[in-house]
Amino acid sequence: MELEEHYGPSVDLKMQDQRVDIVIEYTDDQGPCPECGAICPKHDDRKKCTWRHLDTMQFSTYLYCEVPRVRCDTHGAKTVAIPWAGKNSRFTLLFEAFAIRVLTAARSVEEARKLLGLNWHQAEAIVWLDEKRQTFAILVLMKSNFAQVIAILAISMIWMVGVCLRWSKSEHRKPVIHS
């Protein structure tokens, strides 16, 4: 993973926990506005966030960063877009891509979830994000032909019903008995 010039990483290896923590510091006093790309002064730092990254030699790897906000004259205070993860995701793009491969190859979401060391909600969030990205890419390619958009929405709804059914049949769910 390559970091832009604004970021300075430090690595902490925790042998007993079989874990690698990478703390990324934003070292610049300015940055690009995520809306317009204008270089703006740094406004402040958000609270420290954590992202799960690909394992390093079978050690769980996590990234930590206080993502800065910049003060744009046009858009106000905005959080800088980070190069390693999508907006509101707690997984790096590389981890998400790997997880999708595992989820596709596994016999079940439960099996993939255990291999990846994720809980059920994290695995479903990755699947949902991937489906959302695929749907967006298809819509962009189709240039919003109305009939095709309706077809894509129908396919997405069918997929969502499948997700709900898998979730309702999963091992961790207990049946609800109404009296």
Q: How far apart are CA 43 and CA 53, in angstroms?
A: 27
Summarised one tens digit per residue, pLDDT across range 83-99 is: 899 888 899 999 999 99
Looking at per-residue pLDDT, the higher value among 138 and 31 belongs to 31
pTM exceeding the 0.75 threshold for the entire prediction = no
Percent of the chain exceeding pLDDT 70 equals 70
Which tokens hold the place of 74? Answer: 């046009």
pLDDT tier for residue 176 given thresholds of 50, 70 and 90 = very low
Question: Which comes out higher in pLDDT, residue 131 or 118?
Answer: 118
Residue with tokens 């290896």: 13
Q: What is the pLDDT of residue 69?
A: 93
* pLDDT score recorded for residue 166: 54
Average pLDDT over residues 7-35: 87
Please, where are the H alpha helices in the chain? 93-105, 109-116, 120-142, 146-168
For residue 136, CA distances in Å to 17, 26, 82 come to 39, 30, 20
> So what's the pLDDT on residue 164?
54
Q: What is the pLDDT of residue 102?
A: 92
Distance of CA 160 to the CA centre of its chain: 19
Q: How far is CA 135 from CA 16, 105, 159, in A?
A: 42, 21, 11
Q: Measured at the alpha carbon of residue 160, what is the angle toward residues 159 and 165, in degrees to the nearest 5?
A: 100
Residues 28-39: what's their mean pLDDT? 91
The amino acid that residue 53 corresponds to is: H
Nearest-angstrom CA–CA distance, 173 and 160: 18
Lowest mean pLDDT among 9-13, 80-84, 109-113, 165-169: 165-169
Average pLDDT over residues 155-176: 54
At 173 the pLDDT is 41
Angle at 140 between CA 135 and CA 142, to 5 degrees: 95
